[in-house]
Amino acid sequence: MSPMEENKDLSTFNTFGVSVKAAKFQAIESLEEARQFFTNPPEEEILILGGGSNILLKNDFPGVVVYNAIKGIAIESEDHESVVIRANAGENWHEFVLHCIKLGYAGIENLSLIPGKIGASPMQNIGAYGVEVKEVIESVEAVSTLDGSFRSFTNADCEFDYRSSVFKTRLKGKYFITSVLFRLQKKPTFRTSYGAIQDQLASMEIPESELSIKAISEAVIAIRQSKLPDPKEIGNSGSFFKNPIIPLNMFESLKEQHPEMPAYPAKEGSMKVAAGWLIEQAGWKGFRKGDYGVHQKQALVLVNYGNASGGEIFALSERIIESVEEKFGISLEREVNII
């Protein structure tokens, strides 16, 4: 195990690019190191970091940041219809998607270009363009942060929900994810009805007869690049807020006042409303003050143009939540973890 570092700058370990420091920093590069480290965990508070793509760091962290750097991808099993792939938690998510597409394994092509690492995918139950990662997760392997014991979570054990799982709720901070097993299909089922995928495929002049998981991935990448800023160029964490789910009767009432309000059916008796649209209607799209603001093309994305602090970005999110509540009576919930 590499030596523990002190007073570590975390600006390159979070996609907002916020400059804060960790009192201590420990990289973990294998399951064995994870078990060793957590068998006798430090007494200080622990923060687990992967890609840092879904986190806003408001202040310096006084405890130990544990960085998940466990790499490796391998086929566990396969049959005529599907393959089970083990991907270790420190692998880059988008690179894993492209790897699977190259091998012809389907099921995650709609999740192309989502930032972050494999370990965050079950934690957040990442989703995009009509697909959620829970649909392909076979199991999640993790180490207890309390005693270093190993546990394998079945799909049901993970208690997946919209942008959430047991790892964000009752077991938050209690497990260090080491690997995820995905069951992908050898014969694809194309999912193109959500969002602008069909229009993008048409603009790419890809006929239905030539549809492939690679083409869908390329369409999703093009759409995301047209709407979302690259964190390497402008600090951000992608979608900052969840799309709120509201009762059907509330939606119908709002629809009378705002006929253009975009929404999708959710659980029975409810509708999922586009948070970005709500924020834009409240007048925040393109807002900027100093080095923080709301992206010009996508109101769902809060950005750091250079030297914004986590506190400034958080305060902006508070103001957005208040204004959307005042205008629509809808309470926005942050998708990003606030530390």
Cα angle for residues 326, 330, 336 (degrees, 5° grid): 110
Catalytic residue (one of 35, 86, 163, 183): 163
Residue 35 is given by DSSP the state H
Q: Whose CA is closest to 153, among 122, 130, 183, 131?
A: 122
Residue 179 is given by DSSP the state E
Burial of residue 61, with CB atoms counted within 10 A of its CB: 0-12 exposed, 13-18 middle, 19 or more buried:
buried
CA distance 338 to 209: 46
Cα angle for residues 229, 232, 237 (degrees, 5° grid): 55
Give the helix/strand (H/E) hosting 87: strand 82-88
Q: Whose CA is closest to 332, among 316, 318, 321, 322?
A: 321
* Known catalytic membership, residue 163: yes
CA distance 237 to 56: 8
Catalytic residue (one of 179, 217, 239, 317): 239
Catalytic residue (one of 109, 132, 141, 335): 335
* Known catalytic membership, residue 334: no
Q: Whose CA is closest to 218, among 83, 97, 85?
A: 97
* Known catalytic membership, residue 193: no
CA distance 147 to 79: 37
Amino acid at residue number 197 = I
- Residue 137 CA, chain-centre distance (Å), reads 15
Catalytic residues: 163, 239, 335
